[in-house]
Amino acid sequence: MANNYSVPIKGVLKKLSIRDLNIKGKRLFIRVDFNVPLDENLNITDDKRIRSTLPTIN
């Protein structure tokens, strides 16, 4: 018995980007888990993950 689910999975699961949404003039809450490495004094030792999100935040 055949099912009705013959659509390829690639066509179904398209990941949305923030660019796909109409957010101009709207207030957003963006949660980011940076999980950055810290030294023994809790100073960030590599801020690459933080810097990479700035285009989205700005």
In whole angstroms, how far apart are CA 40 and each of 45, 47, 48? Answer: 10, 16, 19
> Is residue 44 helix, strand or coil?
strand
pLDDT score, position 12? 59
Instruction: Dump pLDDT digits (tens) for 4-48.
Output: 555 555 665 677 777 888 888 988 888 888 999 999 999 999 999
pLDDT score, position 49? 92
> Is residue 52 helix, strand or coil?
helix
pLDDT score, position 55? 84
Say if CB 30 and CB 57 are below 8 A apart.
yes
Q: What is the pTM of this model?
A: 0.52
pLDDT score, position 57? 78
Residues in a beta bridge with 40:
none
Give the DSSP H or E segment for 29.
none
pLDDT score, position 7? 55
* Extents of the domains making up the chain: 23-58
